[in-house]
Amino acid sequence: MIEGAVKVRNKEFFPLRDIPCLPLHKFQVALSTGLAAGLFLAALPKLYGRVGKKEVIAVLRHDQRRRLYLLRTEIPSQWRSLAKEFPQVAPFERELAEESGCTLQGHPQPAPLRYLPQTGTAADEAGRYIGSQSFLQAEGEEMHEVAVGPVHAGIIEPGHFRFLCHGETVFHLEIALGFQHRGIEAALRDRIPDQRTLMLMETLAGDTTIGHSLAHCQALEALAGIGVPERAMDIRAIALELERIANHVGDLGAMAMDVGYAPTASFCGRLRGAFLNITAMLCGNRYGRGIVLPGGVGHDLDDVRIGAMIDQVKKHFIDVTEAATLLWNTPSVMARFEETGTLSRKQAKDLGMVGPAARACGKEMDNRVDFPTGSYRRHRLPVSVWFTGDVYGRAFVRWLEIKRSVAFVLARLQDLPTREEQTPLGRLPADQCIVSLVEGWRGSICHVAVTGPEGEIRTYKVVDPSVHNWPGLALAVRGEGIMDFPICNKSFNLSYCGHDL
């Protein structure tokens, strides 16, 4: 379908030498052809550890065919941007430029993707971009800028929002991130995966512990050629869905809080903790650390705990249903939710959005269905889709997913396979490339790993769903009153640290 591309499945490794290194022109033609045909850019990682080489791999996904297409080329000093024609490419090109030093030609926003303090190249001490552009400005009566962050009130991660407004109406929002850059991807290079590696994966984004650790372990297991027992697969899926439920419940409460609706806000604030406590029944902590291990799981379930978890899920789901019903049936809440922060299906597709934010626009995209692994190959979950693309749609898709995830968790708890021995992780093969996809609660999680001659990790790229969705938030608030930004922001609920790896 795409000339010069290697076609693989999710979790199927492939020798790096067998991915042709195309001339830049052919690479960009092939990439443009795939994007024009409706494929989705999942990752664009720079390859590390190849002496004398500066190369990049493009990972395109074809959801209908459940296939991934890999393209490779050398990174030039001048990179002709495809972002004007294909906006979903924009953040990946910005990241490639700041990591490789190439210059972007024709990019609509050729600024670093992440704020890099005191480097002397990417940003000055004030955080304004150097050598590319400053924040967009406009002149005229009632035109003004509103700067928010990076230090925010309350317990929240740092990020800077620059609003360009005409009176109360937002003309443009520019989002500057990178304040949480911890160098995790660099820490993963040139090392054999070990316990510390897994700990880094569990802390990529603290609210997505299961999602990221599962994507990582899937990649290692496939590279090592080991299988995972069906019981362990089900326990992993239970943990992943509990993570989804807890975060979606919390988001419904937070959205209610942002419009001043206390009943659902207080209900869901408590219930998020209740579902986190169910995860703690599984592994001893509320965020799921230690559940997913290479080759299986770190904790099994006995009949007593299974029964207790079933009772707790049923009990708390009744309360969530009541809290959500209050939300949908309150006209003042719906007046703030409906037709606020609206995006069309085409906009979501053009920007490459993922997860509930994309599905709220009618974009059917869910790795549990499109690229299923583990339990999801045996137990299908329907894709939760809505069509309005507004705050209400993003809230309602969360509610649909809560209901379906609860049903999935109960079914798996009541029908766990018998226990089997888990296979330890062995040595990884040399000079291989693999892509691992998981559907986290925010959306598609993509991990790309490339091994070196001793089986060590040479390149490891993580694409958190927030990378795809931050541009969607910026577009959603255009034309809205600035007072609606908090509810728009919360309806996306994106990660700073997951973006800033």
> pLDDT tens digits, residue range 181-200?
888 999 999 999 998 999 99
CA distance 195 to 294: 10
CA distance 368 to 439: 6
| Token pair belonging to 210 | 């299961």
pLDDT of res. 153: 77
pLDDT of res. 135: 75
pLDDT at 254 over 80: yes
CA distance 265 to 246: 14
The 10 Å CB-count burial string (b at 16+, else e) for 54-68 is bbbbbbbbbbeeebb
What sign has the CA pseudo-torsion 194, 197, 203, 205?
negative
pLDDT of res. 385: 98
Structural element, H or E, at residue 78: strand 78-80
pLDDT of res. 120: 43
Mean pLDDT of 385-412: 98
Can you name the residues that pair with 445 across neighbouring β-strands? 438
CA distance 54 to 75: 5
CA distances from 69 to 58, 92, 103 (A): 8, 17, 26
Global pTM value = 0.95
Residue pLDDT, tens place only, 210-236: 999 999 999 999 999 999 999 999 999
CA distance 164 to 147: 9
pLDDT at 388 over 80: yes
Instruction: Categorize the per-residue pLDDT at 116 as very low, low, confident or very high, splitting at 50, 70 and 90.
Output: low
pLDDT of res. 128: 43
User: In this prediction, what percent of the chain has a pLDDT beyond 90?
Assistant: 83
Instruction: Categorize the per-residue pLDDT at 119 as very low, low, confident or very high, splitting at 50, 70 and 90.
Output: very low
pLDDT of res. 134: 66
SS3 per residue for 431-483: CEEEEEEEECCCCEEEEEEEECCCCCEEEEEEECHHHHHHHHHHHHCCCCEHH
* Concatenated DSSP letters of 15-57: EGGGS-EE-HHHHHHHHHHHHHTT-EEEE-PBP-S-TT--EEE
| Radius of gyration from C-alpha coordinates of the chain | 22
Residue pLDDT, tens place only, 24-81: 999 999 999 999 999 999 999 999 987 678 999 999 999 999 999 999 999 999 999 9
CA distance 501 to 482: 29
CA distance 477 to 340: 8
Domains of the chain: 6-113 (3.30.460.80), 194-425 (1.10.645.10)
Structural element, H or E, at residue 174: strand 169-176
pLDDT of res. 125: 40
Residues 6+ apart with CB under 8 A from 399: 248, 252, 324
For residue 419, how many other CB atoms are within 10 A of its CB? 12
Residues 6+ apart with CB under 8 A from 143: 164, 165, 166, 171
Q: Which amino acid is at 418?
A: T
Considering only 140-154, 349-363, 369-383, which range has the smallest mean pLDDT? 140-154
Instruction: Categorize the per-residue pLDDT at 438 as very low, low, confident or very high, splitting at 50, 70 and 90.
Output: very high
What sign has the CA pseudo-torsion 117, 196, 201, 39?
positive
Structural element, H or E, at residue 105: strand 103-105
DSSP label at residue 207: G
Instruction: Categorize the per-residue pLDDT at 306 as very low, low, confident or very high, splitting at 50, 70 and 90.
Output: very high
Largest CA distance in the chain: 71
pLDDT of res. 131: 37
pLDDT at 156 over 90: no
3-class secondary structure, 499: coil
Can you name the residues that pair with 41 across neighbouring β-strands? 60
pLDDT at 133 over 50: no
Instruction: Categorize the per-residue pLDDT at 316 as very low, low, confident or very high, splitting at 50, 70 and 90.
Output: very high
The 10 Å CB-count burial string (b at 16+, else e) for 290-312 is bbbbbbbbbbebeeeebeebeee
Instruction: Categorize the per-residue pLDDT at 115 as very low, low, confident or very high, splitting at 50, 70 and 90.
Output: low
